[in-house]
Structure 1
Amino acid sequence: LVTKYMTTQPIVWTIAGSDPSGCAGIQADIKTFQALGVHGCSIVTAITAQSIQSHHSLHSATPDLLANQIKILQCDLPPKAIKIGMIGDINHINVIYDFIRNNDVNVVFDPVLISSSKQKLFIQDEKIYIDELKKLFPFIFLITPNIHEAELILNRKITSYDDVISASHEFISLGIKNVLLKGGHFDDHQFSQDYWTNGNKSFWLASPRFHIQSIRGTGCTLSSAIAACLAQNYSLEDALVISKMYINQSIRLANNVDAQTAILLHETWPENQIDLPYLSSVPIKQIPNKFPDILPDKIGLYPIIDSLNWIKKLSEINIQTMQLRIKQLHGEALENKIRQTIEFARQKNIKLFINDYWQLAIKYHAYGVHLGQEDLETADLEAIRLSGLRLGVSTHCYADVARAHAISPSYIACGPIFATTSKQMPFAPQGLEKLKRWRRTLQYPLVAIGGINETCFPEVVATQVDGIAMISALTKASDPLKTGKYFLHLINNM
């Protein structure tokens, strides 16, 4: 009788070597799994004899032992995701191949080939081993090589960011679904920049470089963090951002052994903006310039309305910040309406953000502009910045927030918090707990949006967000001004 145990946490396997120092290998993987809230199972490919700074020997498990570990765990603890690290032996490749080609599970492969002390971590001839390794590629969801590993596997040099892109697409041509080519070993003194692609879409994840000469287990930790996030149903893009935050946190908090050596600290789910990477379509060259702040007060109650009449009505109860979102007008009628609304808002000292139409916002000197994620690729962000306008950006997930972070906007809007009928949303409601996490994580002014009404309004205010955006709760209220006063009272007295 086979029993599949039900755990409260998703199950993630690590198939990798054992590191007695606890800095890398399955030991680092298990620490990462525990920190990120999944149940980790370990399948040992080899026992190594190594310390923090040196590697002495490697002793492979027998193929039968490896196969038995997989078979036993599959019986009662089947994985939601698998991280594969050091394999070390062609015979092990065959065992793993037989398993992953017959099981539909997300596999994250960190192709560990060389130890930190420059010792090779496989026992056969290099070319023979790497050629055999490639048979796994069609069954790999994500591969996470560093520059040196990519050069070995692809038998080429990678000396520029253009090389990083072409090498990543070469991996795709070998059958791998996704590639994250890590830039930790790249010659960029200011940033560590990782490149992700699935062959169709791509982006860069950049973080300020840590100048620590020796710290082991970073690749193991990053790949196991990605597997842990995938097991919790995060999209791959979100998993990459969260995992980059986790490794940044682990390095930032690392315990120093001496002046040149540190050990990663595996703490908990990352909730500090300092660890958030910049997500961009090209490698970044500098820390992004910040858009102007929203002064002097918090954003507060933030109605999103579609007409000048609504601006006039809500100005009667002294609402200070509003957004004009017009979807039905075009051409001259649209421009005239935006111009008139901006002029009225300026007379009443209302901080008016124009949704989408950034050219008209610049032309008529609005207070700010609000852009969705789809608009960030086409808008001239530098023109908006140079005009002095404030910028708000919509976000729905970790990848969106990292993309906004690369722009350094005046505020970040997070939503939908609850189910909404105001617009079609491809994202599920985030809920109050995720909103609280964003509040703990982000230093940007934070605006909550989506499905917020009189019933849940006090709970949203209690999260201490800087602004609460509302549409139908005001515009469809039987008495919008009375309802608006109630919301203002709650905000001002919390």
Structure 2
Amino acid sequence: MNKPIAWTIAGSDSSSGAGLQTDLLTFHRFGLHGCSVMTASTAQNSHRVSDIQYASPEHLKAQLSVLKHECRPNAIKIGMLGTPKNIDMIREFLHAYSGYIVFDPVFSASCGGGLIAGPARAYLDGLFQIFPYLHLLTPNIPEAECLSGFMIRSFEDMEAAAHKILSRGAGSVCIKGGHFISDKWSQDYWTNGKESFWLATPRYSDRNCRGTGCVFSSAVTACLALNYSLKDALVIAKMYISNGIRLSTISREPTWFVHGSWPEDQDDLPFLSASPLMEHPRSFLPCDPETLGLYPVVDSAEWIGLLLSAGVKTVQLRCKDKQGVHLQNEIRHAVALARQYEARLYINDFWEDAIAHQAYGVHLGQEDLNTADIDRIFSAGLRLGISTHCYYEVARAHAVQPSYIACGPIYPTTAKMMPFAPQGIEQLKRWRRTLRRYPLVAIGGINEERMSEVLNTGVNGIAMISAITQAENPERKTQQLLSMVGKH
């Protein structure tokens, strides 16, 4: 099997609006081979559930047995389990499985029909026994209320419920906010007990799609099977859900979710933030002009003087080895040179000094976002660029609405130690298609030989370090690179 494999352990929906049919379609859209273990067969449509036949534990065991010998999964999504005995059988299987497990704790159908057999208390007690095997639990608000034992009426309640559920042993929880009363945003809350964030996308109140909970959990599972991190998987799944709802038919009645291809529209990219979104984030001033062009990153004002005299119009000062008065002098000198040459100077990291010396802009890494005062940078009228390396970081930058977003490393680089693998030119093309309203800067391992294929992606800027600073004749090399950029 060349494709990654994902399983769905769930009930069958005869109308294919939810359940394992929707899971398999989602897996297919993400390029996976999907396998199914059917826990129940339901006779349902968008208005009612008329009959349910639960699989016996013996039949469930037979399905698991034949699949594990031929189609070992990279990740498993669990949905409707139906009976306490089936929960026991699944727990026995999970005890011997070491891959990713995502659980969407389905208690009822979208149309309101119950999907569990026997006393609810016994069913819940059984579910709690499998929580320690789960990497992610994805309840909606009514399900989170059942699992946590209290009502959810506020964002603070969502956070409290998530931590209560975590105490049962799950690795992490993402409470989906589709049922939350809000006119503007659909907001989900994720936490693993140590880290947490909110994901917000526009709410389409005039659309009523079935099976979105199934789709979200299976999309996360698909991304985990494709070796994305859990944080990235949550962002991509949120994009997929937003896209499918946005493209669905406008109707108050239950309608069909639109399964697209890989999500690549900025309209569906969530805002990722530490707290729930109350209003649309304000945007930083745009780059002027939008094309940043050749964008050298250097460590001294001396280098900046050489580059500006060679014709560079956008440059970044990244001083990691200077402090105190030496750093202040370096920044002051660099700002003066930028004004002399009418160029755009971004100061890396030292945002307070950039404000004090009235630099054109600031560039922040992801770790800097934890400590920088974004509001002060905005109020000072500086432009802001942010480094990103993955979907989680792009969504986090999107919530800040910077002047530009930098993506990398595109190729292997020796400029600094990187915990991220090179993204490659195809992913850069995807970032360009996705981040269509942001100036996009490519960085990481770009040299003269690779310049043309990077420029052909349509990026607005190319950040370079060693290709210039380690050149035999940096000034001449800079002029050659400027000429290449100018031809595009």
- Who is 1:181 aligned against? 175
**Regions of 4+ moved over 3 Å:** 258-261
**Counterpart amino acid of residue 359 in structure 2:** A
Deviation at 1:259, TM superposition (A): 4.9
Structure 2 residue 255 is matched with structure 1 residue 262: yes
Structure 2 residue 345 is matched with structure 1 residue 352: yes
Instruction: Tell me if the contact between 1:206 and 1:284 (Cα under 8 Å) persists in the aligned partners.
Output: yes
Q: Distance in 2 between matches of 1:249 and 1:44?
A: 28
Deviation at 1:163, TM superposition (A): 1.4
Q: 1:23 aligns with which of 17, 20, 33?
A: 17
- Who is 2:480 aligned against? 486
Q: 2:237 aligns with which of 238, 243, 248?
A: 243
Cα RMSD over matched residues? 1.1
Q: Distance in 2 between matches of 1:236 and 1:107?
A: 11
Map 1:296-335 → 2, pairs under 5 A: 296-335=289-328
Structure 2 residue 466 is matched with structure 1 residue 466: no
Aligned pair in 2 of structure 1 residues 472, 204: CA closer, same or farther (>3 Å)? same
Q: 2:150 aligns with which of 135, 153, 156?
A: 156
- Who is 2:66 aligned against? 72
Instruction: Tell me if the contact between 1:212 and 1:262 (Cα under 8 Å) persists in the aligned partners.
Output: no
Q: Distance in 2 between matches of 1:314 and 1:485?
A: 9
Deviation at 1:480, TM superposition (A): 1.2
- Who is 1:134 aligned against? 128
- Who is 1:4 aligned against? none
> Per-residue CA shift, 1:169-224, capped at 9, x if unaligned?
11211110011111111122211111111111111111111113531110000000
Instruction: Tell me if the contact between 1:351 and 1:367 (Cα under 8 Å) persists in the aligned partners.
Output: yes
Instruction: Report the TM-score, using the length of structure 2 for normalisation.
Output: 0.98
Q: What is the number of equivalent residue pairs in this alignment?
A: 487
Instruction: Tell me if the contact between 1:461 and 1:490 (Cα under 8 Å) persists in the aligned partners.
Output: no
Deviation at 1:261, TM superposition (A): 3.2
Deviation at 1:316, TM superposition (A): 1.9
Q: 2:361 aligns with which of 368, 373, 376?
A: 368
SS of structure 2 residue aligned to 1:26: helix
SS of structure 1 residue aligned to 2:418: coil
Structure 2 residue 38 is matched with structure 1 residue 44: yes
SS of structure 1 residue aligned to 2:3: coil
Q: Distance in 2 between matches of 1:212 and 1:262?
A: 11
> Per-residue CA shift, 1:133-188, capped at 9, x if unaligned?
11111111110001100111222111111111111111211110011111111122
Q: Distance in 2 between matches of 1:211 and 1:188?
A: 9
Deviates more, 1:126-135 or 1:465-474: 126-135
Aligned pair in 2 of structure 1 residues 202, 353: CA closer, same or farther (>3 Å)? same
Q: 1:13 aligns with which of 7, 13, 26?
A: 7
Q: Distance in 2 between matches of 1:213 and 1:126?
A: 31
Structure 2 residue 414 is matched with structure 1 residue 421: yes
Instruction: Tell me if the contact between 2:311 and 2:479 (Cα under 8 Å) persists in the aligned partners.
Output: no
Q: 1:441 aligns with which of 434, 438, 442?
A: 434
**Counterpart amino acid of residue 368 in structure 2:** D
- Who is 2:201 aligned against? 207
Q: Distance in 1 between matches of 2:290 and 2:200?
A: 32
In percent, how many aligned pairs have the same letter?
51
Deviation at 1:255, TM superposition (A): 3.8
**Counterpart amino acid of residue 381 in structure 1:** I
Q: Distance in 2 between matches of 1:134 and 1:356?
A: 45
Unaligned regions of 5+ residues in structure 2, if any? none
SS of structure 2 residue aligned to 1:401: helix
Deviates more, 1:396-405 or 1:430-439: 430-439
**Counterpart amino acid of residue 56 in structure 1:** S
Unaligned regions of 5+ residues in structure 1, if any? 1-6
SS of structure 1 residue aligned to 2:255: strand
Instruction: Tell me if the contact between 2:207 and 2:248 (Cα under 8 Å) persists in the aligned partners.
Output: no
> Per-residue CA shift, 1:98-119, capped at 9, x if unaligned?
1001111211000000211222
Q: Distance in 1 between matches of 2:88 and 2:288?
A: 62
Structure 2 residue 387 is matched with structure 1 residue 388: no
Deviation at 1:127, TM superposition (A): 1.1
